[in-house]
Amino acid sequence: MNELITNWLVGQGVSSAHLEMTAMAIGLLIIIAICAISYYVAKYQIVNLAHKLIVKTKNTWDDALIEHHVLTRLTLLLPFILVLLLTPLIFPSELLLANLLILAAKICLTFQVARCASALLNVSKSLYRETAKQKYLPLNAIIQVIKLAVYLVAAIIIISLILDRSPIYLLSGLGALTAVLILVFQDTIKGLVASIQISANKMVVAGDWIELPKYGADGDVIEIGLNTVKVENFDKTITTVPTYALISDSFKNWRNMYHTGARRIKRTLIIDIGSISFYSLEKVDFLANTNLLKSYLTDKKQQLAEKNGSLNSEGDLVNIDTHQLTNIGTFRAYIEMYLNENSNIRSDLTCMVRQLKATENGLPLELYCFANTTDWGAYEAIQADIFDHLFAIAPEFDLRVFQHPTGFDWQK
């Protein structure tokens, strides 16, 4: 090919002084033109046709090839391959330009192969996310390690090409740099170990709601990487947490709440201790007319009558040993029955009302139950409706809900 170009130039009357430079320029233009045309045809004709065919297919896995630009990156391999094939045909092997072109093509080809391998790894990650039922495999961290290894091998090959030495020669020198490599990649090594432990123990997967107060993270996990975990908080901010922190620090995972389909309600109602008293028979009869307490008070009256039958009263004096109903006990029973009748509360899970230790603020009554939804808005509405009702009905039991005095209280 070089001889044909030279003979053609001689026929055109090019002087021998400029013959070599002109032949090199024409040969270089021929290589550039062929590479440019081939790249244009591959990218804007063949790849576009492939995209149209992929879009029309019913398969979803091939859509990932478009999403991660696999075909586009493959088209860049063609010009470099053509440079390697055309350079020996056009230029003499002893020419410096030919050697430089071949070296540059090999370097670019090596780097582009690494980019294509990276894109294919991204495709495998996307397919795993779409098809895997349980995403405990730390594929993201594994893929990042493989990418790191691919680019590291590509870098070694490129350096060996530049130095004109075998890659084995360079690899033999890495043994002496092991300590330095461990120091440089210590976060990567710790992240990989953490990813494996997280996967093996099924601690967290993408999509879980986790809380890490130490890092200010409270939201959904969107990505578990090799070095970091991205958490999208409920205010739509992103918190980045070191992957190793998930095994070195404590965190709360709300995954099982979603699997159960219920969310816990645990809140206290503080009663003024000064309002706690015994009930008179008239008050018991009045409350016995309510649907929720009718059965409860009927049984209680019968039990109290049996217990008090053995206690003797003298005249009009009231025996302090007499068993009587209290307003706080009746109110507690009412809350339990109210929760049991509430269709928004799960009856198959723990549901109780208990007294906590009395404090200087009063006697806390804690409601411990589970709403039948995990939706945040619906959960808050259910919880609010329950306490709206309890705050409003407490005076009917001659009880006062405690709150610190306000200006309105002093005004009265």
Q: 237: pLDDT confidence band, cut at 50, 70 and 90? A: very high
Q: List C-alpha distances in Å: 297 to 289, 300, 324, 331.
A: 9, 5, 12, 11
Q: Describe the crossing of helices 16-41 and 2-11 by its angle, rounded to 10 degrees.
A: 120
Q: What is the pLDDT of residue 57?
A: 76
Dist CA 236 CA 229 (whole Å): 15
Cα 332 from Cα 336, distance rounded (Å): 6
For residue 378, pLDDT over 80 is answered with yes
Mean pLDDT of the 10-23 span: 54
From the list 347, 157, 173, the residue with the least C-alpha distance to 262 is 347
Q: Which helix (H) or strand (E) holds 270?
A: strand 263-271
DSSP string over 86-122: HHHHHS-TT-HHHHHHHHHHHHHHHHHHHHHHHHHHH
Number of alpha helices (DSSP H) and beta strands (DSSP E) in the chain? 18, 8
pLDDT above 60 (res 18): no
Q: Report the pLDDT averaged over residues 157-162.
A: 87
Q: What is the pLDDT of residue 4?
A: 58
Q: What is the pTM of this model?
A: 0.59
Residue 124 or residue 350, greater confidence: 350
Query: What is the predicted pLDDT for the residue at 321?
Result: 62
12 pLDDT above the threshold of 70:
no
pLDDT surpassing 90 at residue 187 = no
343 in Cβ contact with 360 (< 8 Å): no
Highest-pLDDT range among 55-64, 97-106, 171-180, 264-273: 264-273
Q: 191-201 pLDDT, tens per residue? A: 878 887 887 77
**Taking every pair of C-alpha atoms in the chain, what is the biggest distance, in angstroms?**
145
Examine the pLDDT at 316 and tell me if it is beyond 50. no
Convert the pLDDT of each residue in 74-103 to its tens digit.
888 898 898 888 888 777 777 787 888 889
Per-residue model confidence (pLDDT) at position 317: 44
pLDDT more than 90, % of the chain = 26
Average pLDDT rounded to a whole number, residues 243-268: 88
What is the pLDDT confidence band of residue 17, given thresholds at 50, 70 and 90? very low
What's the pLDDT at 7? 53
Average pLDDT of the residues in 271-291: 86
Strand partners, 267: 367
Separation between Cα atoms, residue 192 and residue 315, nearest integer Å: 84
- Position 320 pLDDT exceeds 80: no
Convert the pLDDT of each residue in 345-371 to its tens digit.
998 999 999 999 999 999 999 999 999
pLDDT of residue 300: 81
Closest CA relative to residue 216, chosen from 248, 190, 251, 191: 251
**Domains of the chain, with CATH numbers?**
1-131 (no CATH), 134-255 (2.30.30.60), 263-305+323-407 (3.30.70.100)
List the single range of 49-58, 150-159, 270-279 with lowest mean pLDDT: 49-58
Tell me the mean pLDDT in the region 17-22. Answer: 56
pLDDT at residue 133 in the model: 56
